[in-house]
Structure 1
Amino acid sequence: MRIYLPSTFPGLAAVLDAGEIGPAPLTAFAVTERLAGVGAADDDEELEYEALSGAAAASLRLLAADPGAPRRRAVIAAEAPAAVVGPSAAADDHAAAVTLTGTVPLKRVASVHVDAPEAEEAVAAAAADPDAGISEEHELLWYATQELPDLLGRR
């Protein structure tokens, strides 16, 4: 099952160092029956985008809690066994919210999605009020897993 995990640059570094996503439990986002039942999206790609967007919004809340983190949203896309993905604990969560109940090895990470450096000012403003969100003009950029060290300035 494809899941999207909200993160920050320090969070990405921790995943790279540990070689896995964890420790559980973690909030993630996925195409859930609840999301598909909303009727807002017509196809699987739109549903995946809604799940990714939910994770990006959650990344803003993580940034609000970590003022030292670079002001760029980060989302990890990974394949997780259905056995470690459970329903969200909170009834008022995003329709795509799920709970990751186990760790996911780095080799199961499909990609990383982050803001461009030019979005830092807008992300900083949005992190000050995460519920307000961020302008849709700032789309997350796609990075392959092997690009993670370069993205984090480790090469």
Structure 2
Amino acid sequence: MRVYLPCTLPELARAVETGELGPAPLTGYAVTPALVEWYASGDTEELEYVALTEAARASLRMLVDDPAAPPRRVVVAAEVPDGSLPHNGADLREKARVRLTEPIPMTKVAAVHVDDLRATGDVKAAVAALPDADQGDDDARFTVDGAEAHELLWYATQEIPDILDS
């Protein structure tokens, strides 16, 4: 099963250095039964895009917590055994959220999705606006939406060193 893990560039560098994403528990996003039920008309590809988008939003929140990190959202796509992802049903707003109880070895990483360098201005503005957006400020929400309008770029695992050098 494919799981999408929110990340930052410094976290990705640590994962490369240690050989795993962790420590556990980790929050990820995947095609859960709740997501399938909610998005009944979507095919697997559409549902995976929803999970990827949720992970990108979580990455943006990680950037709020790490102001020194470069302003680029990062999502790591990894393969985990089917049935190993208990759905976190406590938050019905995030139907794709799952909790991983073990670190993810880098050998299980399938790809990395990262903002283009041209998105950094919008991502930086979104990071600054996110607390106000969470409080219901419509202008701040518009700013956050501006970052979310950028599509993440797909990178193969062998390109991770290039991502970290950019």
TM-score normalised per structure 1: 0.92
Q: 2:145 aligns with which of 134, 144, 154?
A: 134
* Greater gyration radius: 2
1:39 deviates by 2.5
Aligned to 2:115: 115
- Cα deviations across residues 105-154 of structure 1 (Å, max 9, x unaligned)? 11110000000001001001111233533335410000001110111019
Aligned to 1:64: 64
> What secondary structure, in the 3-state scheme, does the structure 2 residue paired with 1:77 have?
strand
Check 1:40–1:124 CA distance in 2 against 1; reply closer, same or farther (3 A cut): farther
Query: Runs (4+) of structure 1 moved beyond 6 Å?
Result: none
1:152 to 2:164 alignment: yes
Give the CA RMSD over aligned residues: 1.7
- Cα deviations across residues 41-60 of structure 1 (Å, max 9, x unaligned)? 52111000000000000001
Check 1:101–1:82 CA distance in 2 against 1; reply closer, same or farther (3 A cut): farther
Larger relative contact order (CA 8 Å, sep ≥ 6): 1
Higher helix share: 2
- Cα deviations across residues 72-101 of structure 1 (Å, max 9, x unaligned)? 000000001235422216324511000011
- The separation in 1 between residues aligned to 2:109 and 2:15, in whole angstroms, is 10
Tell whether the 8 Å contact from 1:122 to 1:134 is kept in structure 2 after alignment.
Answer: no
| Structure 2 unaligned regions, length at least 5 | 135-140
- The separation in 1 between residues aligned to 2:66 and 2:13, in whole angstroms, is 14
Tell whether the 8 Å contact from 2:22 to 2:102 is kept in structure 1 after alignment.
Answer: yes
Amino acid at match of 2:20: E
Aligned pair count?
154
- Superposed, 1:4-153 pairs within 5 Å as 4-39=4-39, 41-82=41-82, 84-88=84-88, 90-130=90-130, 131=134, 132=141, 133-135=144-146, 136-153=148-165
Q: Say which is worse superposed, 16-25 or 127-136, in terms of deviation.
A: 127-136
- Cα deviations across residues 15-41 of structure 1 (Å, max 9, x unaligned)? 111111111101100000111111265
TM-score normalised per structure 2: 0.86
Q: Say which is worse superposed, 80-89 or 5-14, in terms of deviation.
A: 80-89
| Structure 1 unaligned regions, length at least 5 | none
